């Protein structure tokens, strides 16, 4: 994108409600784990692991609340909707609902310089780029140490509905205790040990989500 072709373009707010399962990056784990489970799953395209925050148990559900509420977890991938990195440049999906010629915040000021909305997007894309690298390194080490294990979630709700969630993974604290001292020190120095315990601790939100779903129903 550039100020010549997009001088009058405006940016609408990002969607307030995340989907039921949304990709999160390692620097976001702590914030996400305050309100919802952080789990691994596999990309259906290439089979690689990625981390995600669970806001509900199936598409269309969100029991955590809107991200525009004070103190709510605001995922990076929601903030960047409509924008992409193309090498060193920012690209946009011009047909995305966030872009308008009539309403929203301007992306460029009168001098053709990035306005506040675009500067915020630039920072978000930078945070995502750095976060992706950190997350890939974390997942690679979890895979190498064989600390990723499947977790099957079976739930029965008060209305009689039963749900079984498959294809989800977490970190194994049992296997963590078996790693050698060199690996343990490496996990500590890299900050990956903290991420392991954040993910493991976030599982306490699974029964809370189930209770919220029961209350909503």
- pLDDT category at 76 given cuts 50, 70, 90 is very high
14 in any annotated domain: yes
169 in any annotated domain: yes
Which long-range contacts does 121-127 make (Cβ < 8 Å, 24+ apart)?
A: 121/11, 121/79, 121/80, 121/83, 121/90, 122/90, 124/76, 124/79, 124/80, 124/83, 125/80, 125/83, 125/85, 125/90, 127/27, 127/76
User: Is it the case that residue 70 has pLDDT exceeding 70?
Assistant: no
The span from the CA of 16 to the CA of 100, in Å, is 18
CB 38 within 8 Å of CB 204: no
74 in any annotated domain: yes
5 in any annotated domain: no
User: What's the whole-number mean pLDDT along residues 55-74?
Assistant: 78
3-class SS of residue 63: coil
User: Is it the case that residue 68 has pLDDT exceeding 80?
Assistant: no
23 in any annotated domain: yes
Chain segment 161-195, per-residue pLDDT in tens: 898 999 999 999 999 999 999 999 999 999 999 99
**pLDDT top residue among 18 and 147:** 147
| DSSP 8-state class, residue 92 | E
The span from the CA of 6 to the CA of 108, in Å, is 8
Relative to beta strand 105-106, strand 10-11 is antiparallel
Q: How many domains does the chain have?
A: 1
Domain that holds residue 188: 10-216
Q: Can you spell out the DSSP letters for 193-209?
A: HHHHHHHHHHTTHHHHH
Mean pLDDT of the chain: 91
3 in any annotated domain: no
162 in any annotated domain: yes
User: Is it the case that residue 67 has pLDDT exceeding 70?
Assistant: no
4 in any annotated domain: no
């Amino acid at each position: 994108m550039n100020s010549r072709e997009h001088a009058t373009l405006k940016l609408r707010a990002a969607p307030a409600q995340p989907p039921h399962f949304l990709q999160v990056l390692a620097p976001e784990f702590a914030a996400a784990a305050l309100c919802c489970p952080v789990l691994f799953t596999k990309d259906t395209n290439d089979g690689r692991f990625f981390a995600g925050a669970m806001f509900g148990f199936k598409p269309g559900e969100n029991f955590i609340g809107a991200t525009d509420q004070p103190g709510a977890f605001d995922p990076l991938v929601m903030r960047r909707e409509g924008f992409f990195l193309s090498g060193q440049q920012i690209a946009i999906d011009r047909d995305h609902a966030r872009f308008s010629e009539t309403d929203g915040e301007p992306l460029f000021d009168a001098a053709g310089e990035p306005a506040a909305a675009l500067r915020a997007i630039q920072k978000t894309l930078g945070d995502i780029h750095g976060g992706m690298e950190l997350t890939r390194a974390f997942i690679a080490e979890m895979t190498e140490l064989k600390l990723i294990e499947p977790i099957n979630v079976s739930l029965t709700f008060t209305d009689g509905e039963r749900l079984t969630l498959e294809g989800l993974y977490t970190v194994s604290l049992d296997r963590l205790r078996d790693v050698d001292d060199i690996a343990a020190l490496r996990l500590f120095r890299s900050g990956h040990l903290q991420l392991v315990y954040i993910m493991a601790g976030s599982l306490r939100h699974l029964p809370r989500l189930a209770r919220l779903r029961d209350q909503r129903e």
